[in-house]
Amino acid sequence: MVNEKPVLFKRYPDLEGKVPWVPVLTGIPTHVEKLTKLEEHFKIVNGEIYIKRDDKDHNIYGGNKLRKFEFIFGEVLKRKKKGIITSGGIGTNHGMACAIIAKELSLKWTPLLGFGSPLGTIGFINALFELKEQIDKGILSEPEIIFVAAGSTGTAAGLTAGCKLMGLKTKVYFVNVSRDIVVNPKSLIRNANKAIKYLRKRDKNIPDVKVNENDFKMIKGYLGSGYGIITKKSQNAVDLIYELEGKVKDFRLETTYTGKALAAMFEFLEMEENKSKKVLFWNTYNSNDLVKYLKQTNFNFTKLPKKFHKFYEQTRFQCWQITDCPENIRNDCFAYLNHEYRFWKITECKLDDEKKQKAYKELSNVIQLEDA
């Protein structure tokens, strides 16, 4: 079911029609789940650990981008634009999500949006309002801390501004997984206050508050030597959460964003003084299975622009290349075309032990985990 109306508009009706918005999300409100196995692992006594499942906020491709797109694409349609141009690195989640939503809204899309303004941040102010409703319903206790990955500061700024507007005591801990010039306290304060000002201009009932440096905490030390670098801490966090919770609850994290944020949360929870804290991890990564969509393309990468072919023609990087994995096995395997899912962590691998050991030995020399 497509999102009928943002919680923000329900709480402040005068914003409707003044703030651009288009329904995009299909899984709202996203579930909040208690991570009891993780609590046992860290010997949490009086504390609580939750996860906010934004990985399922859309039926095709979940994640934090979609919450922002409801407002950003609303502006695109308001301006009667016929298409958008966006940019990102190879394999960008932003680019993937943008292409999917552009198609749903019959917009042309070119991978290379300049409509960011404060609208992306407002998407997560709205998300925090959604969380407040869940707190009021008793689904979870008011968290003392929200851990979230920050590749920019849009998501963290929205959550922080939302906490301020709602009068929550919750503090946002955003984990820097990108360059300092992009992810820093000044950027968060600027984005948060710009979004609040934008809303107050359209409805004076919005509280006249300002985000300051006491409302959040930036955590550094988990990035590694650069953006996208896979660290041991990140990989270990991704593996542990999947074993304890993800297998049953159907979610996986990755090593560039959510894994690093989770690693920071894990080290926080290891400290004795934090074992009584109420902590929420905001999952910003997609958990929907995309294999069926890949199958529709017949895995034919040659239809893509030629500049992308080299990423598919690299040899000896994927396990299925090393083992000459039969097509009928690899097409049903999570590790196929996705190196985030180490095949030796996938218990369903149907190859014989000799082939598994061969691939493990070669890939261990290729895939280096940085000790950061």
User: For residue 314, what pLDDT is reported?
Assistant: 67
341: domain range?
307-366
Position 151, amino acid = G
In a domain, 89, yes or no: no
Look at the chain and report how many structural domains it folds into.
Answer: 2
Q: Where would I find the beta strands (DSSP E) of the chain?
A: 32-34, 48-53, 83-86, 108-111, 145-150, 171-176, 216-219, 278-283
Same domain, 245 and 138: yes
In a domain, 185, yes or no: yes
Same domain, 195 and 343: no
Backbone angles phi and psi of 172, in degrees to 5: -90, 120
Same domain, 155 and 276: yes
pLDDT per 10-residue tile (average), the chain, 372 residues = 86 97 96 98 96 97 95 93 80 85 86 65 98 98 98 96 98 96 96 98 98 97 92 94 95 94 98 97 93 79 84 71 83 70 70 85 78 81
Contacts of 86 (CB under 8 A, 6+ apart): 94, 95, 98, 109, 110, 111, 112, 113
In a domain, 47, yes or no: yes
In a domain, 371, yes or no: no
Q: What is the CATH number of the domain that holds 252?
A: 3.40.50.1100
User: For residue 279, what pLDDT is reported?
Assistant: 98
In a domain, 293, yes or no: no
Same domain, 324 and 277: no
User: For residue 358, what pLDDT is reported?
Assistant: 84
In which order are the strands placed within the sheet that holds 216-219? 32-34, 48-53, 278-283, 145-150, 171-176, 216-219
* Domain final residue pick, 249, 283, 317: 283
What are the beta bridge partners of residue 83? 108
pTM for the structure as a whole: 0.91
* Domain final residue pick, 250, 283, 316: 283
